Amino acid sequence: MTPTQLRAFSAVVRLGSVKAAAGELEVTEAAVSLHVAQLRKELGDQLFTRTASGLALTPGGLRLASRAVELLGLQNRTIQQVSQAGRGRRLMRIAASTLFAEYAAPGLIELFAGRADDLDVELSVHHPRQFAALLSERSVDVAPGPVPAGLPESIRRVPFLNYRLVVGALTPEETAVSVCAEIIAERAGLEVVRPLGQVETPIHH
């Protein structure tokens, strides 16, 4: 499986025909058909069939279509990063929880990156349960957020920020405040603290 084959398949799926894909890629229709045929042979799947209304993807074709976009995007980013590294630029890859990415990350990243003219920052959003795997696989460099369970000792943990998120009702009649707090806490991997007589407040230490 090569990037050229994936690019041809992705174009066919997106545009709906081999002819349109060949026009966009500026190659012959025979070349596009050959790339698709090679993928079919290697993967042992038809990937798609032609119908009166267009193309019908097989289950395997649907998976490949999704993966092709990811892989081609990764290839483009890798080329860009290698080029930037050659010009002396550095890259910091940050994984953050949804709440941290929305409320804290933008300001912190701007402040941090503003101190280093040669630094690019790439932010991706993940559940805190994924932090350990992402760091161990070196898919990211830093993962600010709650400390996940089972974090290997090889990964350094450094407390650097305390913040408090207060979930409040929009109107006095609002009755879903506690539900909202539970949902937000669950998605962000935060602990829900329930002070007596107060609105439930997820707190990240």
CATH of the domain at 65: 1.10.10.10
10-residue block means of pLDDT along the chain (205 residues)? 89 89 90 92 89 85 86 79 72 84 81 78 85 82 79 78 64 50 53 41 36
Q: Which domain holds residue 7?
A: 3-82
The answer on 93 and 145 residing in a single domain is yes
pLDDT at 37: 93
Beta-carbon contacts of 120 under 8 Å, excluding residues fewer than 6 positions away, are: 84, 89, 90, 91, 92, 113
Query: Within 10 A of 68 (CB to CB), how many other CB atoms are there?
Result: 22
The answer on 131 and 143 residing in a single domain is yes
The answer on 72 and 26 residing in a single domain is yes
Distance (Å, whole) CA 155 – CA 73: 28
pLDDT at 143: 86
Domain count of the fold of the chain: 3
The answer on 99 and 50 residing in a single domain is no
The answer on 157 and 94 residing in a single domain is yes
pLDDT at 32: 92
pLDDT at 165: 64
Beta-carbon contacts of 143 under 8 Å, excluding residues fewer than 6 positions away, are: 94, 95, 96, 126, 128, 131, 134, 135
List the structure tokens of 174: 């609002």
Beta-carbon contacts of 64 under 8 Å, excluding residues fewer than 6 positions away, are: 9, 39, 43, 45, 47
Helix, strand, or coil here: 63?
Answer: helix
The answer on 76 and 59 residing in a single domain is yes
The answer on 155 and 95 residing in a single domain is yes
The answer on 138 and 76 residing in a single domain is no
The answer on 63 and 32 residing in a single domain is yes
Query: Within 10 A of 6 (CB to CB), how many other CB atoms are there?
Result: 21
The answer on 140 and 98 residing in a single domain is yes
The answer on 58 and 18 residing in a single domain is yes
Distance (Å, whole) CA 51 – CA 66: 21
Domain end position, chosen among 36, 58, 82: 82
CATH code of residue 154: 3.40.190.10
pLDDT at 35: 92
The answer on 71 and 55 residing in a single domain is yes
Contact between 57 and 13 under an 8 Å Cβ cutoff? The reply is yes
